[in-house]
Amino acid sequence: MTTLVIHGGAGNITPAMMTKEDEQAYDLGLKMALDAGYEILHSGGAAMDAVVAAITELENNPLFNAGRGSVFTKKGLHEMDAALMNGKDLSAGAVAGVRNIKNPIQLAKEVMLHSGHVFLSGNGAADFALSRGLEFATDDYFFNKLRYDQWVKIRDSDFTQLDHEGDNLKGMAPNPDYKFGTVGAVACDAEGNLAAGTSTGGMTNKRFGRIGDSPVVGAGTYANNATCAISCTGHGEYFLRAVVAHDISCLMEYKGLSLQEACNVVVKDKLVKMGGEGGLIAVDATGNYDFCFNSAGMYRAMRNSKGEEVIAYYGV
């Protein structure tokens, strides 16, 4: 069975915070990403290519905190992180702190396939992008009034902020806008190959080259045909320390848990005990999928070869 699952961030997402117009805009954004990715799976393409196509679509949509819609750093810049992993051979590519790259997920794929390395950062990653002919974009392309206003409110403080998060988290500023997020995709193709990808602008007002969980293989992103493919979203510091994505894979591999059982243990028990808010999307090699979050909501969607389709935001 082929399955594509995507997310656009987890956090304090409730009906009270979304207008009908907001819902329509998210419906459309998620649907376009499903279309782009699922088309590849439907025509017999690879899970990894479906993941890149879906995330590229989300990165191009300013609604989401990735690519074009990335949040502002303390210095008023956009520093993006992304990772891609292929469950077939455990190959992976990731970038952190990259600027002016139009589609960081495509750079992550280039790193995987052509760099001889797994993880590149900052200026070096930009040099590599140039050498591979990746598309660059000017700062104007990444400018977004809403994100700018979010940043202006806290830029003189030491707070950082998840752009879709509430006001109850340590070290973070109150945020009335709560409505955007990191993006990710996981897929199972017709051959039972799995892939996972995640892309983000990180946290508003981040500094000192802060990197979250998203581009870290095993924390925010992981894929292994023997177990699952996972893409996370949430308060990255906790997801890093809990090694969330790989932990779920290990619970399946070494303890024989099902996909859903493993996700629940890590997201609804381990992370909650640590104080880590967020969620993830997951798929296994039979095409079985899960959305799992401990926050109020998560922008999420799924399409599979049974003809099922889900687009949802709120908790159940």
Smallest distance from ligand ASP to CB 63, Å: 13
150 makes contact with ligand ASP (CB under 6 A): no
* Residue (86 or 200) nearer to ligand ASP, CB: 200
231 forms part of the interface with ligand ASP (CB under 6 A): no
User: What part of residues 3-22 is at the interface with ligand ASP (CB under 6 A)?
Assistant: 9
Nearer of residues 212 and 218 to ligand ASP, judged by Cβ: 212
Q: Which stretch binds ligand ASP (CB under 6 A): 17-25, 102-110, 171-179, 210-218?
A: 210-218
Please report where in the chains the tokens 């104080």 appear, as a residue. Answer: 275
203 binds ligand ASP (CB under 6 A): yes
Amino acid symbol at 169: L
And the tokens for 272?
A: 């909650």
Q: Which of residues 110, 213, 284, 290 is near ligand ASP by CB under 6 A?
A: 213
Size of the site for ligand ASP (CB under 6 A): 15
Which residues are part of the catalytic machinery? 182
Compute the distance between CA of residue 206 and CA of residue 212 in angstroms, rounded to an integer. 10
Q: Any bridge partners for residue 282, and if so which?
A: 230, 290
User: Does 182 help bind ligand ASP (rule: CB under 6 A)?
Assistant: yes
Sign for the CA dihedral angle at 65, 101, 193, 46 comes to positive
Distance from first CA to last CA of the chain, Å, rounded? 26
Going through the chain in order, the beta strands assigned E by DSSP cover 3-11, 80-86, 91-98, 119-121, 183-188, 194-200, 221-223, 228-234, 278-284, 289-293, 297-304, 309-314
Contacts to ligand ASP by CB under 6 A: 9, 65, 162, 181-182, 200, 202-203, 212-214, 220, 233-234, 236
